[in-house]
Structure 1
């Protein structure tokens, strides 16, 4: 049996609204489903979480749910009859900082701050930078603009202001509503858009602490200001997403490849998961095969050491959602077959780890696995930290992470090479291993007699703390 180590995140939407499609996506290789709240109502968010939970439980698959908040994101408003506006180069359009329905050359945005954020000569980029406007003048809540790059503008499209100050709050009222729903329905991750500094992440965590359950936060890096304080963001966030679409608009597309490598390297060094996102197989929204450049893009993210790669419109509104996931899985499999076990430099790992005992046992387990060429590593984990740290060494073998805690298993599902498995609480380490052996044999993951490395960190059970053991599956 082969084990794909790089995880796949797929965005839900109309293209996978039927249960059978979600089921097929799980079987094709999806590890985490993303719900984009920018395009989902509160009731739709509840529906997506409950549907994904039900289908993954029926299939006995560990599938996690990531809820993506809009954050400090400007968007255009609704359009008359939902019909796109045809904005022609050289035309003058009127942008209103108020709720309304756009038509002709009139565009609305519900954000009253918008007109105060721009001035004469500023660039306004719409719909992932496909349409460019230049501000001619500002009068009260109205901004008059010249169309520099023409295009068709649909509803609820993103607005980027490269020259504007970051004055919007990290969370808006709608975000807070979505957070409460996410907490109540126990999703596994919350992604915060347009993170500018550690303060944005801390504001989200503080709000969650006041209102209920704390959920791991994925900081979306899509502004140059976030790159300037990346280490500080990584200290407070539970992971990051390389959101290349808006990052390319804000800092220039030519700078994105180097930024991607830096973000992946620093996330790995910090022991945090990293997702590479945006336009990975975008042509498959309309075509059954990706471009060669897209295939190379996915493979290079794997070679860079990402934990996960993400599909957006490809699975939410595309024509071939299932085929897209299968294609991505094949590209990942091929890329991983050419990785070396010691490809990634370990010198900078663990610089943020205070518990040197965890450092010692995970490093020893990794070296033993590499030298002995064992079949797998079995991580007995209470907090998830042991399995996560081994994952950051990028071993070429699967890490089966055994935990009795549902939230820990869902959190680990995002990490490279980690396969979470539910296990009941046992009173001794021998009984834990007996239970673990039975589970991997029953599921066909390993065979009796296979040699594995067992590693256990800071456990509740005193006899299971800080252990590294060479173990034969089924051994008594």
Structure 2
């Protein structure tokens, strides 16, 4: 696991704080970096089943969706937390309810057809037999605009307290529909002293897809939430939008994450063949990361799910046509290139020409590492993050830890956080940092004697790409 997602559509601050403390202990135990992502609730429609009793719904029966949340959910009535739902839907619309939002596991989610509305109530026809299990069920209405703010009061409370207190690395903005949603969140987190936190826009509706280009320009990364997209879009259209979105992310060098990949592993030890192929194809398309949801939240085999998905990704990366990605990105960027794009692409080209074992890049903000990763080198990128001394006029602090963790969201990048004394050691900082990177590469089995390493660093206002041979005893 590279990034731990804390989903604030479930449970409270205390639960998430306990989980975060567990994560911090685990990070120290395994001596690995792990980023923290706060996932907002957004304008999610939810049915709260306070008793936790299973609700059995039978195909061809009728059920009433009501906005009276004081009523107990049952096979006859489902109370939802949105007073305007009856006005938003019409006869013939499709409504989905369940823990897994109709991922194909019909036993745990149900889809219904709207028959009529009467005041705040919606009468529906149940289309499949299913048992709703759990305390919270998510409701989604296909291609219907929900007139609720993307950044809700619940989200603002979570960010301003838990998020600010824990200096989260990422915020995942659920149900991002317009570029203004991202801008609003950006302004909000800056007002709460989260200047380093990155925003990943979660695109999960047709409305978000319509404004995808603008959203991509403003966000730091994109999460394609295929659970809801698979409902809003006809099944035969999902792959097309996924490929298009990943391609656009690749061209501008921003991370693309996809979700809902091995849903069958919530209850089974192995994924289906279709799921395994789906994960591999996402890697070949250029996705940066795989986000697991129910597989690790409620699944019976969370560790196995991560291991298997990781193995599939590794296998797909072995046959990935990186040179094709390189050519596509070069063509998209065009000429004349900016100075930064030129040297980043040159570093990747040099690594190919000399058959380098890895690329080492020195960075403070992470931008240089992202630019190199954008050109999809066929070798690992070791990003040595040099801490930067900063002051807010009251105290001096080192930045760098968050920047290192944020690089875990970028494909092919291995971030290494240098110690503050490297940052303050003057001209020897790069040499010291390079030794750290090379030793780390050797410990991981990525480097052997006589290997060549491409090094990217800034010297004053210039950027330098050089090649280091491992037989040079200074770097052994």
TM category, shorter:
0.7 to 0.9
Q: How does 1:420-431 map to 2 (within 5 A)?
A: 420-423=415-418, 424-431=422-429
How many angstroms apart in 2 are the aligned matches of 1:147 and 1:383? 52
Q: 1:199 aligns with which of 166, 169, 180?
A: 180
Aligned in 2, Cα 1:354/1:285: closer, same or farther, shift over 3 Å? farther
User: Which range is displaced more, 294-303 or 107-116?
Assistant: 107-116
Distance of aligned partners of 1:353 and 1:192 in 2 relative to their CA distance in 1, 3 Å threshold: farther
Match of 1:91 among 58, 61, 71: 61
The alignment partner of 1:208 has SS state of helix
Q: CA RMSD of the aligned region, Å?
A: 2.3
The more displaced of 261-270 and 55-64 is: 55-64
The 10-residue stretch of structure 1 (230-239 or 208-217) with the greater mean CA deviation from structure 2: 208-217
- C-alpha distance in 1, partners of 2:334/2:48? 43
CA displacement, residues 423-464 of structure 1 (integer Å, 9 cap, x when unaligned): 13044454312332145316614456542111125xxxx547
Could you say if the C-alpha distance between residues 427 and 408 of structure 1 is closer, same or farther in structure 2, counting changes exceeding 3 Å?
same
Whole-angstrom distance in 2 between the partners of 1:354 and 1:312: 42
Query: Residue 404 of structure 2: which of 400, 406, 409 is its match?
Result: 409
Aligned to 2:456: 455
Contact preservation (8 Å) 1:244, 1:277: yes
Farther off after superposition, 65-74 or 113-122: 113-122
- TM-aligned CA distance change 1:383 to 1:354, over 3 Å: farther
Contact 2:113 2:124 in 1 (8 A): yes
Q: Does 1:471 align with 2:460?
A: no
Q: Structure 1: any 5+ residue segments left out of the alignment?
A: 1-29
Q: Matches of 2:427 and 2:235 in 1, distance apart?
A: 52
Alignment of 1:227-306 (within 5 A): 227-278=209-260, 280-306=261-287
CA contact (8 A) 1:85 1:105 kept: no
Q: How many residues align?
A: 441
Q: Residues 252-286 of structure 1, C-alpha deviation per residue, up to 9 Å, x if partnerless?
A: 111111111111100011110011111x1222222
**Secondary structure class of the residue paired with 2:201:** strand
Tell me the residue number matched to 1:140. Answer: 119
Contact 1:341 1:370 in 2 (8 A): no
Structure 1 residue 117 corresponds to structure 2 residue 96: no
| CA deviation after TM superposition for structure 1 residue 135, in Å | 2.5
Shift of residue 99 of structure 1?
2.3
Distance 2:358 2:282 in 1: 24
Cα deviation for residue 92 of structure 1 reads 2.1
Residue 348 of structure 1 and its aligned partner are, at CA, apart by: 4.0
Structure 1 length as normaliser, TM-score? 0.87
Distance 2:150 2:271 in 1: 36
**Higher alpha-carbon deviation: 286-295 or 122-131:** 122-131
CA distance in 1, matches of 2:449, 2:461: 23
Partner SS, residue 76 of structure 1: strand
Distance 1:342-1:262 versus aligned 2 partners, 3 A rule: same
Match of 2:392 in 1: none
Q: What's 2:390 paired with?
A: none
Q: Secondary structure at the match of 2:324?
A: coil
Verify: 1:51 aligned to 2:25, yes or no. no
- Residue in structure 2 matched with residue 312 of structure 1 by the alignment: 293
CA change 1:362–1:107 in 2 (3 A) is same
Helix, strand or coil at the partner of 2:66: strand
How many Å separate the matches in 2 of 1:354 and 1:188?
34
Distance in 1 (CA, whole Å) between partners of 2:271 and 2:236 is 22
CA change 1:275–1:352 in 2 (3 A) is farther
**Counterpart contact for 1:314–1:321, Cα < 8 Å:** yes
Relative contact order (C-alpha < 8 Å, sep 6+): which is higher?
Answer: 1
